[in-house]
Amino acid sequence: MTDTDVMERKRVSEIPLHGPEAFEAMRKVGRMTAECLDLLAEHAQPGVTTDFLDRIAFEFIRDHGAYPACLHYRGYTKTICTSINHVVCHGIPNDKPLRDGDIVNIDVTLILDGWHGDSSRMYYIGEVSRRAQRLCEITYECLMRGIAAVKPGATTNDIGAAIQTYAEAERCSVVRDFCGHGLGRVFHDSPTILHYVEPAYNVELKPGMLFTIEPMINLGRPQVKVLSDGWTAVTRDRSLSAQFEHTVGVTETGVEVFTYSPKGYDKPPYGVA
Ligand code: MF3
Ligand code: CO
Ligand code: CO
């Protein structure tokens, strides 16, 4: 498929379809994104500030010839998002130390050679309660079930159904206010990936589509509110929230995940002290 073909298909469908060169670039940036999250696993401990984790991520990214996509994105001032306990997403790193028992989502997006890799994982800070661990495990399973639904001919609602069915069977709720997204040379592109069923938006998956799946799952109600900093989203009922995110591509036969951890650190615990 030539670039002209890709552009033509884009005009027709409005959803970019990418060729082999794009997939190769996404493998590179996806791996580096995962390596950045792997590195953070060694530092996410009680007493460490999220600003410190932000600096580790920034330096890793710059040392590897990449750029942090979130920095200066719509006025955001950090490299990573750090979402602790009842924070759903877009928590801003600060000078407060992490505490024993916290669960933290770290979300990082890299730009390498113009291509975006976007991934997030949960981290256990010290000893974490059984209920918090259970939420993280359910959320990881939601992501993996969503990924397993991806293949040509399936639809975005198949992804949402896989996630919502499992989360609700486990008596958890799916956040509606944030979603996965197409990406590639653009950070947030079409298609939109909802983590629940919405018949009014349902797109057929085709080879060459690139997008994230990033379910946010709450122990309580699904409602969220954004704090006055304009970013930090928290659960309205202050229940615990968890999220995992991978960047994937639709292949001729199924799905390719670009952001798996080379160390096998895809979900906690990560086997570091
Ligand atoms: N990485 C987030 C996502 O999954 C976006 C964060 S935007 C920021 O789409 F500005 F808050 F960093
Ligand atoms: Co992200
Ligand atoms: Co994303």
Give me the pLDDT at residue 2, please. 53
Atom in ligand 1 nearest the alpha carbon of residue 80: 12
Structure tokens at 117: 């890799």
Residue type, position 245, single letter: E
Q: What are phi and psi of 258, to 5 degrees?
A: -90, -15
pLDDT mean over 214-219: 99
In tens, the pLDDT along 54-111 reads 999 999 999 999 999 999 999 999 999 999 999 999 999 999 999 999 999 999 999 9
Give distance in angstroms: CA of 105 to centre of ligand 1: 12
Q: Binding site annotation covers 198? A: no
Distance CA 230, CA 186 (A): 22
Give me the pLDDT at residue 3, please. 54
DSSP 92: P
Q: Binding site annotation covers 195? A: no
Q: What are phi and psi of 80, to 5 degrees?
A: -120, 165
Distance CA 249, CA 115 (A): 13
Minimum CA distance residue for ligand 1 atom 8:
70
Give me the pLDDT at residue 146, please. 99
Minimum CA distance residue for ligand 1 atom 4:
118
Q: What are phi and psi of 82, to 5 degrees?
A: -125, 105
Place 242 in a pLDDT band, splitting at 50, 70 and 90: very high
Give me the pLDDT at residue 273, please. 46
Contacts of 68 (CB under 8 A, 6+ apart): 57, 58, 61, 79, 80, 108, 109, 110, 111
- The answer to whether residues 246 and 258 touch, using CB atoms and an 8 Å cutoff, is yes
Short-list 178, 180, 177, 175, CA closest to 190: 180
- The answer to whether residues 181 and 212 touch, using CB atoms and an 8 Å cutoff, is yes
Short-list 122, 142, 141, CA closest to 132: 122
Give me the pLDDT at residue 5, please. 46
- Please state, for a pLDDT cut of 90, what percent of the chain lies above it: 94
Give me the pLDDT at residue 271, please. 80
Q: What are phi and psi of 265, to 5 degrees?
A: -90, 45
Residue-averaged pLDDT of the chain? 95
Going along the chain from its start, the domains and CATH numbers come out as 3-257 (3.90.230.10)
**Bridge partners, 155 (sequence order):** 204
- The answer to whether residues 196 and 181 touch, using CB atoms and an 8 Å cutoff, is no
Question: Where are the extended beta strands (E) located within the chain?
Answer: 67-68, 80-84, 87-89, 103-112, 115-124, 173-174, 180-182, 189-193, 210-213, 216-218, 224-226, 233-235, 241-243, 246-250, 255-257
Q: Binding site annotation covers 72? A: no
Question: Is the full-model pTM beyond 0.85?
Answer: yes
DSSP 197-243: --TTS--B--TT-EEEE--EEESS-S-EEE-TTSS-EEETT---EEE
Distance CA 263, CA 60 (A): 16
Residues with CB under 5 A from ligand 3 (ion): 118, 212
Short-list 143, 92, 100, CA closest to 120: 143
Structure tokens at 29: 């940036």
Ligand 1 pocket, Cβ-based, cut-off 6 angstroms:
70, 73-74, 76, 81, 90, 107, 109, 118, 214, 231, 245
C-alpha distances in Å from residue 236, one per residue of 71, 106, 171, 173, 218: 27, 21, 17, 13, 10
